[in-house]
Amino acid sequence: MLKDLGVKPYLFPMPVLMISTYGDNDKVDVMNMAWGGICAQNMVALNIDEDHKTSENIKKRGAFTLSIADIDHIEAADFFGIATGNKMEDKFERSGLHAVKSTRVDAPVIQEFPVTLECKVAECQHTAYGFRVLGEIVNVLADEKVLNEKGNVDPEKLNAFAFDQFQSGYYAIGEKVGQAWKTGAGLMKK
C-alpha cells in the first residue's frame, strides 16, 4: 500500500558532486552539492543558493569544474558540504587535497577526485525556483586508474557514492546489475 509523504525532494540516487572555483586571489573553493547534473549532451545544470561563495566565484570567473566524489575522499567531500567558504578562509587547505589550474577554464582541478568536468558558464538564471547555473562541458579529465581497457570510465573502479535524500546518508555505488537498452529488450517482443 502506498503512503502519502507530501512534497519532498525524494529521488535516489542523488549524485555527490564537487563544484570547484577560484575566488579572489585565486583562492580555491570547493562545494559539495547534490542538486545538479547533466541536462544536455555537453551541458550541466547546477541548482545552488546564490549566497554561496561558489555562486559568487562562478559569476566572477565564468567557469567551474565539477567532479565526482569517491569513497576514498568521502571525509573531505562531506566537509565541503558542511563548511562554508563565506566563513572559513582555510576551508580547502583543511581538506588536505591538492588543486592545479585547469588548462581549459578559469577554475581549479582537484587532483584526488577521479573524474572532473571542466566547464565554462553558459548562463546564470534567476527563476522563481532559485539560482541555476548552466555550464558547457569543454573537457572531461579522468584518472587512468578508473578507466577500463577501452579508455572509458568503469563505474566499479570509480568507487563513487550517492547521497540519500531520505535519511541524509551516503551509499556506495558501482555494482552492475543490467545493461541499458538490452535488459528490457525482451519485452519489446510481446
Residue 162: pLDDT band (50, 70, 90) is very high
The ranges assigned to domains in the chain are 14-189
Residue 34 has pLDDT above 90, yes or no: no
Residue 129: pLDDT band (50, 70, 90) is confident
Residue 175 has a pLDDT of 85
Residue 9 has a pLDDT of 86
Give the CATH number of domain 14-189; options: 3.90.1150.10, 3.30.565.10, 3.10.520.10, 2.30.110.10: 2.30.110.10
Give the E-state strand segments of 34-173 in sequence order: 36-40, 43-48, 63-68, 99-101, 108-110, 115-127, 130-142, 161-164, 169-172
pTM exceeds 0.85, yes or no = yes
